[in-house]
Every structure is written in C-alpha cells, then in structure tokens.
Amino acid sequence: MRFIYTIFTLLLIISHLTNGQSISPQVIGAAGNYFTAGGSSLSFTIGESITTTLTNSNYKITQGFQQPSYTTTNVTEVELPAYDLSIYPNPATNTITILNNGNSFSNNTQLFLIDLLGKKLIEQPLNSKQTLIDLQLLAAGNYFIVIEENGRNSFTHKLTKVK
C-alpha cells in the first residue's frame, strides 16, 4: 500500500513538472530607447506596467520588461471634401431638407438613405443647393444619410424619423 502511494506521489510530481509553462515577458510601450557607453548600457520603455528588481552587487535595476524590437505604425489623415451642409428637421416626420451652404457638389455626387442594417432605401443624385427627401414611406427609427462623391464615402449623418 505504501508502495502505491509512493508511485502515485511520484507520478503526481512528474505530471506537475511536465505541465508547467513558461511565459516570456513582453510589453507594449509608447516609446523608448537604448544607449551604450563604455561597457554600460541603459534601455527604457515608456508606457509599460512597472515591476521592480533591485540588486546591489552589480548595480542591476529592472523596472518593467523590454521589447526586443520596435514596431511603428504610420497613420495618415484622410482628406475628405469639406461640406457645409444643413440637414433639417432632425428628428423628422415627413420630409427633410438638405441645404448646401458651401461649394457646389460635383456631377458624380450621390445621396443615399441607409437603414441600420446597411440597406440602401433611397438613392438619388445630389447636385443642387437644396434637396428635399420624402420620408413618409419609412418606418419610425434611425437612418443614415450618406453622401458619396466619385464613389467614395464623403459624408455621413445620423437621421431620426419619428411617427
């Protein structure tokens, strides 16, 4: 009986040791750098969670984990056409008016009325200073007015239809 308990205990210990996992420390930091001068080095990362390791014999200081390499992402700002539009009334019951107070639309400008599921309910060219859209056949709810110029989404506005 003692032999069985001993073997069971050994199997349990071996099982525990073989199922262990190792996680290498990594961090996503906002910035950082690495400097070397004469046999000493200094590296830092900004924007990481802090852990502390202090040793006195060889002057080792650790605060956080260092990334082995840096990855940068470049984000460019998308230039959309500047519209000076008035869309009223909102919320609306029967019709809405879209008034263009700025530059005129190009010949390839389309107006879409889209429901929350993405279905295009109304599609019409938009090339005048004032456009009326009839909403009487639509159910009460939220919709989006989308203006596309040359096939690209240029403007989106939320519209609420009541009654």
Locate the domains of the chain by residue range.
26-75, 85-161
Q: Decide if pLDDT at 21 tops 60.
A: no
Q: What is the DSSP string of 43-90?
A: EEEES----EEE-SSS--EEES---SS------PPP-PPP--EEEE-S
pLDDT tens-place string over residues 75-130:
777 665 567 888 899 899 999 998 888 777 778 888 999 999 999 999 998 878 88
In this predicted model, which residue has the larger pLDDT, 69 or 60?
Answer: 60
pTM (global) more than 0.75:
no
Q: Which residues, 6+ apart, have CB-to-CB distance to 100 below 8 Å? A: 83, 84, 85, 128, 129, 130, 131
**Over 70: is that where the pLDDT of 29 sits?**
no
Nearest to 154 by CA among 87, 119, 117, 105: 105
**What is the pLDDT confidence band of residue 135, given thresholds at 50, 70 and 90?**
very high
Nearest-angstrom CA–CA distance, 146 and 123: 10
Q: What is the pLDDT of residue 140?
A: 93
Closest CA to 137 of 102, 81, 94, 105: 94
Mean pLDDT of 29-44: 75
The dotted CATH code for 85-161 is 2.60.40.10
- Longest CA pairwise span in the chain (Å): 95
